[in-house]
Amino acid sequence: MSQDDLDIDLDAIERRMDGAMNALRTEFASLRTGRASASMLDPIHVDAYGQMTPINQLGTVNVPEPRMVVINVWDKGMIAKVEKAIRESGLGINPVSDGPLIRLPIPELNEQRRRELTKVAAQYAESAKVAIRNVRRDGMDQIKKAKASGMAEDDQKMWSDEVQALTDKAIANVDRALEAKQAEIMQV
C-alpha cells in the first residue's frame, strides 16, 4: 500500500464541517429577531401555478426600514396566496395589502418570546455541533482504517490531532455564532 493511500482527506472533513456551519447560519437567518430581514421569508413557499414556490420567486422582497418588509408581487393574482402563506407560516406577522405591494410590519418581540427564540437558537447550535462531531468520528474512523493498513503510530497521532483541531475550530465557530445570535435576539 502506498503512502498516498494512507493520507486522510482533511479538506473533505473541513468542507463537511463548514457545511454544518452554513446550515446553522441558514437556520439562524430564519429566526425572527424583531428586526426586518428578507431572509426571514425564505422558508415560506406559496402554492403558485401548481407547485410550491418561494416568495422571492413571486415578487421583489425589500426591507425599506428596520421594522418593515415589503413584497412587490409581480402577478396580481398571487397576492392573496402570498398573504395566506405568510399568515399560516407561524412567523406571527400579519400582512397588509396595498395594491401590488404587501407590507409586513414586524412587531416588537416581548421578553418571553425573546427567551424562547434564544432556546431555539441554542437547539440549532447543538444540532450543528452534533453534525460536526459526526464528521470528526468519520475522520477518526478513516485514521483507524489507515492504521490497520500500516499507518505509523506517529502519523496516526498527527492525523488525529489535525482532525481534532478542525473539530475544535468548528465548535468554537458555532459557539461564537450562537452568542452573536442570542445577543441579537435579546437586543431591544
Instruction: Give the total number of structural domains in the chain.
Output: 2
**In this structure, what is the dihedral angle of CA atoms 20, 24, 25, 27, given to the nearest 10 degrees?**
140
Q: What percent of the chain has pLDDT over 70?
A: 94
Tell me the three state secondary structure of residue 61.
strand
Residue that has been written with the C-alpha cell 450543528 in this structure: 128
Alpha-helical (H) ranges within 9-110 are 10-29, 79-87
Q: Domain range for residue 145?
A: 3-29+110-186
C-beta atoms surrounding 135 within 10 Å: 22
Both 115 and 101 in one domain: the answer is no
The whole-number average pLDDT for the span 29-37 is: 73
The count of residues in the chain is 188
Tell me: the pLDDT tens digits for 59-85?
Answer: 999 998 888 999 999 998 899 999 999
Least confidently predicted of 22-36, 45-59, 61-75, 157-171: 22-36
**Of 52-56, 89-93, 137-141, which gets the smallest average pLDDT?**
89-93
Weakest-pLDDT range from 86-95, 99-108, 120-129: 86-95
8: domain CATH number is: 1.10.132.20
Which one is predicted more confidently, 31 or 142? Answer: 142
Of the candidates 59, 90, 105, which is a domain's last residue?
Answer: 105
pLDDT at 5 over 50: no
> What pLDDT does 188 receive?
64
Residue finishing a domain among 52, 77, 105 = 105
In this predicted structure, what is the pLDDT of residue 142?
92
Q: E strand or H helix at 63, and its extent?
A: strand 59-65
Residues 72 and 119 in one domain: no
**Residue 132 sits in the same domain as residue 174:** yes
Q: What pLDDT sits at residue 3?
A: 44
Is the same domain home to 173 and 117?
A: yes
